[in-house]
Amino acid sequence: MSAEVIYGSELAEQLRIEMKKEVTTLKEKGIHPKLTVILVGDDPASKSYVSGKQKASDFVGMTSDLILLPESTSEDELVQMITKLNNDETVNGILVQLPLPDQINEQKIIEAIDPNKDVDGFHPINIGKMLTNQETFLPCTPYGILTMLKSKNIEISGKNAVVIGRSNIVGKPVGQLLLNEHATVTYCHSRTKDMENYIKNADILIVAVGKAHFLTGEAIKPGATVIDVGVNRLPNGTLTGDVDFETAKEKAAYITPVPKGVGPMTITMLLKNTIQAAKNQSK
């Protein structure tokens, strides 16, 4: 059997076309969705993510401002900048690109953002709402993954979902969203013993480890859905995920590729959250 490949890139394009129409309608009503992104320092990977966000915002007709701050920016300076944006009525969504330089406490920065403008869904208030299944901004990568699963009508309720990785940005929230959809969720991580026993029983496997070829087809249950969140650059410069795509494809029923998988969906859900923020704030 060869798995059906879920191209996030194709779904993202469809969704962005719909969003473009929605933004046009909103503008006719005087609502102009605007995202402000803050990038501290000049990490090349962060710069590349940020430029992807800018391009996608342009495509849907949304204003996207970029504030570039030097690597030496202090925590107080960044908090002051965020406070200014919190109070700026023309700004609907605020995103501070992570990671931040060592002198800045990331959690303090996340908590400085107005929860109503927290389009990343990282503020504790929004995480709490997600946990209790209330409407809120969902973290973009987990939200994108859920949207991909739903687009293929993949059953989640009652299934064994195994999340490998427990980051605040991906692992923890994606497990929570799957739990909200009634999956039986197991988290595996660097200290998990006999991880293969969990993996071989997983109907849905979310792999967010950050190691190329971490998971091979041999380990997975036939017919599983495999979502690869990894983005790893090989010594020859090519991008690859955490899953050995060629072997996993032969065992899985559905699989996401890297690139063209989860990545484009993350940015798309950021746009969706920003449009939602603009609508909420216009009420």
Residue 86 Cβ vs ligand GUN, minimum distance, rounded to whole Å: 16
Per-residue x/- track, 119-158, ligand GUN (CB under 6 A): -x-------------------xx-----------------
Q: Are 242 and 256 in contact (CB under 8 A)?
A: no
Q: How far apart are CA 66 and CA 217, in angstroms?
A: 41
Q: Are 278 and 26 in contact (CB under 8 A)?
A: yes
Residue 169 Cβ vs ligand GUN, minimum distance, rounded to whole Å: 5
Q: Is 60 in the site for ligand GUN (CB under 6 A)?
A: no
Q: Is 96 in the site for ligand GUN (CB under 6 A)?
A: yes
Q: How far apart are CA 99 and CA 272, in angstroms?
A: 23
Q: Is 69 in the site for ligand GUN (CB under 6 A)?
A: no
Phi-psi region of 271 (alpha: psi -120 to 50; beta: other; left: phi over 0): alpha
- Of 34, 117, 118, 120, the catalytic one is 120
Please select the residue that binds ligand GUN; options are 36, 64, 92, 97, rule is CB under 6 A.
97
The answer to whether 97 is a known catalytic residue is: yes
User: 119 or 178: whose CB is closer to ligand GUN?
Assistant: 119
Q: How far apart are CA 95 and CA 66, in angstroms?
A: 10
Q: Which of residues 173-232 bind ligand GUN (CB under 6 A)?
A: none
The answer to whether 120 is a known catalytic residue is: yes
Please select the residue that binds ligand GUN; options are 95, 100, 174, 205, rule is CB under 6 A.
95
Is the bond leading into 70 cis (omega within 30 degrees of zero)?
Answer: no
Please select the residue that binds ligand GUN; options are 31, 67, 69, 98, rule is CB under 6 A.
98
The answer to whether 117 is a known catalytic residue is: no
User: 5 or 98: whose CB is closer to ligand GUN?
Assistant: 98
Please select the residue that binds ligand GUN; options are 148, 162, 169, 207, rule is CB under 6 A.
169
> Which segment (52-60, 90-98, 155-163, 256-264) binds ligand GUN by CB under 6 A?
90-98
Q: How far is the first Cα of the chain from the last one, in angstroms, to the nearest whole number?
A: 51
State the SS3 of 177-236: HHHHCCCEEEEECCCCCCHHHHHCCCCEEEECCCCCCCECHHHCCCCCEEEECCCEECCC
Which of 42, 271, 12, 253 has the alpha carbon at shortest distance from 151?
12
Q: Which residues are catalytic?
A: 53, 97, 120
